[in-house]
Amino acid sequence: MKNLPLLIGTIIGTLILVGGIAFFFSKETTVSSQPVDQAELVSGTNNKVGGENPVATIVEFSDLQCPACRASQPLVKAVLEEYGDQVQLVYRHFPLDQIHPFARTAAIASEIAAEEGQFWSMHDLLFERQAEWSQLSSLKAVEQQFVVYAGELGLDEAAFAAKIQDSSVYSTLVQNDVALATKLGVAATPTFFVNGQKATAPQLRDLVASVVAEHSTAQ
């Protein structure tokens, strides 16, 4: 019985660890009860797609080099297709620079494309080719690859290359999104807000469905 205290301590420690993990996941899968200001979420960006007068507005904070963000795209597109004009998606940048060194440059590239009405085309292409450009060895190589992508989208490669080198205007747009994300306590990507209600990717479809159903009931 000399080892009984040690055994009891081990059991207690295990229970605390398991409880902590369970608490973490319960927090991650519970929708926040404190919505944020919808006007603040959607102002200052034209990167929107979907209905002009939506019932549910989805604001996505995302990182173009983030594998989880790429993996969530089929879900996001399915929700947009399912609800049509009842839903609008607003995209906002939140590059996780410490772990995704090319994410901010990708965000800048998408904003350059946005000037020519090609934000969503560049957005989709960057996610589609994420494995290709993420593995490049230098920022210069990444920038050159993005110029190639611009050409594939029918954009002027020389003009695009010049803008990616002198990118202060686009960098400011990206940083404004980052500042908003930080203010709202966004800590991971992708993070969604549906009519101001914070949600993770697994929560997105159900939350949109709930908002649309509530609107229909109120009619």
CATH number at residue 66: 3.40.30.10
Task: Tell me the pairing of strands 48-50 and 87-93.
Answer: antiparallel
Cα 60 to Cα 198: distance, rounded to the nearest angstrom: 10
Range of the domain at 7: 1-30
Residues 161, 70 share a domain: yes
Angle between helix axes 168-183 and 103-114 (nearest 10 degrees) is 120
From the list 201, 182, 205, 183, the residue with the least C-alpha distance to 191 is 201
Q: How many domains, the chain?
A: 2
Q: How does pLDDT run along the chain (219 residues), one tens digit per residue?
A: 444 444 444 444 443 333 333 333 333 444 445 788 889 999 888 899 999 999 999 999 999 999 999 999 999 999 999 999 999 999 999 999 999 999 999 999 999 999 999 999 999 999 999 999 999 999 999 999 999 999 999 999 999 999 999 999 999 999 999 999 999 999 999 999 999 999 999 999 999 999 999 988 877
> Same structural domain for residues 112 and 182?
yes
CA distance 107 to 171: 8
Kindly report the CA angle at 143 between 164 and 134, in degrees rounded to 5? 135
- Encode 1-18: b = buried (16+ Cβ within 10 Å), e = exposed: eeeeeeeeeeeeeeeeee
Cβ neighbours, 10 Å, residue 118: 17
What pLDDT shows up at residue 55?
Answer: 97
Residue 190 sits at φ, ψ, to 5 deg, of -80, 145
Same domain, 191 and 212: yes
Q: Give the tokens for residue 35.
A: 């919505």
Residues 121 and 25 in one domain: no
53 lies in the same domain as 80: yes
Q: How far apart are CA 70 and CA 145, in angstroms?
A: 19
In the chain, where do the E strands start and end?
Answer: 48-50, 56-62, 87-93, 191-194, 197-199
